[in-house]
Amino acid sequence: MLLDPGTKPAVSQATETTGFAFNWAAPEHALPLVLTAVAFLVWLVAFKFRKVWAALFGINAAIVAAYTTWSARNNYWMPEIASELAAEVDSLFNLVLFLVTIFFVATQAVLVYTMVQKAPEGGRAKSVHGHHILELVWTVIPGALLVYVALAQLPTWAKMKGQTAGTLVPVGYDAATDAADLLVTVTGKQWEWRMRYADPSGSKPANPLLWASTPAATDVHMVNELHAWQGAKVRMMLRTTDVIHSFFLPHFRFKQDMLPGKTIPALLYTDKSNINADGTERLWEIACAELCGGNHYRMRGKVVIHPDRASFNQWLNDQKSRQSARKESLAAANNTPAIPAGNEE
């Protein structure tokens, strides 16, 4: 196989580990205990000062907010952005994050405030049953914001689902007939991804749907590696031979299930290369995002976006000649027909 599906061996050594290596000095082990102690303390103090319960809620909300901010600042956040569409998705995320932060802070603050507020005079609260204007305000304002969020996402949704004309309405799958710059079939099976490219020397397939179901002997096959070049619009035809898999490219914010019996056309925009100037590669991994059996977690692959079309072409031609050399030598050695697609190495 071209890329080992894991950095770890499939079956690990039959040596029994000695047990859990808890390093209590490590923050991830010490912190839960510290926080447990805090909760315990609040409980104790609350016997005397019942309003200290507000501290429990306050501390919790504050930690949640601080920890989220810290994660975003320190790169425990979305992976590197690989395309403009991915950036668009992230900005939608940020829009929602901004709005929900306001609601989060406001509601938690009110909740904590009510726990420390002064008791009403004589211990008797006013008998208020409701308020029409208030109800109206807190229905209409969030409602308007929500409608805005609903509409603001539609262009991105359409684009994500293959609409190239820039309108709000996505296209149906049957209308996705455009072969784009590069056409590739990705077939999921337990537990690997098989990529198939059209013969680089042949003509561009006119009908992607038809092409996806009619492999040719000259096609170029890869396992677990998706290649394209920077700036290419890639038409991927997603298929599966057994169960549902989900083709997940975290850096592209791309995820599409493969459904048995269907060929699903998808578009991938590649606005960035992961080959550095010095020729090294930043690893952009592929993962499976739909449970597909025991080795679901092992459907690991990678995406390589070559810096330009020429280097991609060179790579594809290399693959092609390696593939035909292999087929010939195999056929000569065993007098057997060419190996089935995708089973190289």
Partner 1 sequence: MSQTRPIPHDVTAHVAGHQQPGFIGRYIFSTDHKVIGIQYLFSAVLFLLVGGGLALLVRLQVGYPDESIGILTRLIPGLARHIPPEWGGRMSPEFYTMLFTMHATVMIFLVIIPWLTGAFGNFLIPLMIGAKDMAFPILNMLSYWFMWPAFGLLMASFFVDGGASGVGWTAYPTLSSADLADGSFASPAARHAGLGQTLWLLAVFFSGVSSMMGSVNYITTVLHLRAPGMTLLRMPLTVWSLFITAILQAVALPSLTVAAIMQLTDKVFGTVFFLPPGGAQFGAWSTGAGGGQPLLWQHLFWFYSHPAVYIMLLPAMGMVSDILAVFSRKPLFGYRPMVYSMSAIGGLGFIVWGHHMFQSGMDPRIGAGFIIATILIALPSAVKTFNWLATLWGANIQFTTPMLNAMGFISMFVIGGLSGIFMAVAPVDVNVHDTYFIVAHIHYVLFLSTLFGLFAATQFWFPKMFGRCMSEPLGKLHFALTFILANCTFYPMHILGIGGHPRRYFDPTLYEFLQPFQPLNRFMTVSAILLGLAQLIFLANFFFSLFFGKKASANPWDSNTLEWQAPSPPPHGNFETTPVVVRGPYEYGGEGATDHLPQTATA
Subset of 29-88 contacting partner 1 (CB under 8 A): 29, 31-33, 35-36, 38-40, 42-43, 46-47, 50, 53, 56-57, 60-61, 63-64, 67-68, 71, 75-79, 88
d(CA 36, CA 48): 20
Burial class, 165, CB count within 10 angstroms (exposed 0-12 / middle 13-18 / buried 19+): exposed
Strands, E, within the chain: which ranges?
A: 182-189, 192-197, 220-223, 225-229, 233-240, 245-249, 254-258, 264-269, 284-288, 301-306
288 binds Cu ion (CB under 5 A): yes
d(CA 247, CA 254): 8
Nearer to partner 1 among residue 104 and residue 330 (C-beta)? 104
Subset of 302-331 contacting partner 1 (CB under 8 A): none
User: For residues 295 and 191, is the Cβ–Cβ distance under 8 A?
Assistant: yes
- Dmax over Cα atoms in the chain, in whole Å? 99
302 binds Cu ion (CB under 5 A): no
3 binds partner 1 (CB under 8 A): no
Nearer to Cu ion among residue 181 and residue 242 (C-beta)? 242
149 binds partner 1 (CB under 8 A): yes
C-alpha dist (Å) from residue 187 to 110, 302, 342: 52, 15, 10
98 binds partner 1 (CB under 8 A): no
Nearer to partner 1 among residue 52 and residue 330 (C-beta)? 52
Subset of 165-184 contacting partner 1 (CB under 8 A): 168-173
Subset of 242-261 contacting Cu ion (CB under 5 A): 245
Subset of 221-240 contacting partner 1 (CB under 8 A): none
Binding footprint of Cu ion on the chain (CB under 5 A): 245, 288, 292, 296
